[in-house]
């Protein structure tokens, strides 16, 4: 049963037939892992806390810099020099004190990453480098934990959801490399803030769908490309790479045999 306070606070969500009281209870009991607390993580985490997600784990090893404030809208000038996870946790706590927020202010070792992924209902990859993205993808695939990945650079954004129950394709199939051949950091290529917010909000929306109902309404294994100049979207299906070492069991087994 929802308390009177919870019913009043979340009544606009409860009024939606896709959520209702049961869906709201699921959100209150939900556990979301947010890896990366930059622009994507800022936007996503704010809406996750506002929706009533019961447990949010924030992961980042960086501190707030003045150049972040143009797009990382949960931070303030008074947060400069503060660990991003601590500054974001404070904002989430002030937004919704009933959400339990735990922080990890470091790059996780493989064993800890696997544990955190296993505990979560869904993982949001809000990072900015392919090495970490591939590690998160591997951990999510092995744990059957849904992965919601977002990225943005310049005027463009990308969004894709992988529900690893069907084992048909993964992030590595889409981007089969650990390092991008071209420079894609915001500091070098630039970034317009609202594009980051758009993608981060979509990540939160997909997570709320999954946690509240146990399934996604958004199409999975579909890469959504956003152009912030024209405000147009393009959808591309992600197919499984027959040589993927992550999600193709025959390739994985061959690699394990070669290592013996």
Query: Would you name the residues annotated as active-site residues?
Result: 186
* CA distance linking residue 27 with residue 210, whole number of Å: 9
Structure tokens at 240: 């499984």
Widest Cα–Cα separation across the chain: 60
Tokens 């993205």 sit on residue: 133
* CA distance linking residue 243 with residue 245, whole number of Å: 6
Name residues whose C-beta falls within 8 Å of residue 254's C-beta, 6 or more positions apart in sequence: none
The single-letter DSSP state of residue 99 is: S
- As a whole number of Å, the CA-based R_g of the chain is 18
Query: Which SS3 state, helix, strand or coil, does residue 124 take?
Result: strand
């Amino acid at each position: 049963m929802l308390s009177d306070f919870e019913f009043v606070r979340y009544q606009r969500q409860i009024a939606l037939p896709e959520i209702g009281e049961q869906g709201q209870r699921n959100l209150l009991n939900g556990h979301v892992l947010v890896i990366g607390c930059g622009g994507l993580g800022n936007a996503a985490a704010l809406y996750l806390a506002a929706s009533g997600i019961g447990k949010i784990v924030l992961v980042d090893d960086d501190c707030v810099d003045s150049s972040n404030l143009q797009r990382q809208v949960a931070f303030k000038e008074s947060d400069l020099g503060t660990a991003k996870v601590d500054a974001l946790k404070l904002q989430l706590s002030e937004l919704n004190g009933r959400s339990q927020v735990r922080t990890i202010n470091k790059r996780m070792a493989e064993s800890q990453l696997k544990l955190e992924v296993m505990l979560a209902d869904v993982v949001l990859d809000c990072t900015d480098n392919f090495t970490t993205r591939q590690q998160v993808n591997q951990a999510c695939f092995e744990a059957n934990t849904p992965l919601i990945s977002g990225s943005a650079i310049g005027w463009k954004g990308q969004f894709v959801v992988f529900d690893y129950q069907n084992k048909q394709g993964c992030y590595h199939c889409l981007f089969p490399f650990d390092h991008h051949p071209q420079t894609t950091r915001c500091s070098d290529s630039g970034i317009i803030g609202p594009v980051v917010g758009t993608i981060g909000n979509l990540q939160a929306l997909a997570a709320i769908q999954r946690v509240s109902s146990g399934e996604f309404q958004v199409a999975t294994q579909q890469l959504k490309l956003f152009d912030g100049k024209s405000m147009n979207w393009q959808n591309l299906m992600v197919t499984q790479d027959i040589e993927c070492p992550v999600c193709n069991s025959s390739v994985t087994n061959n690699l394990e045999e070669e290592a013996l």
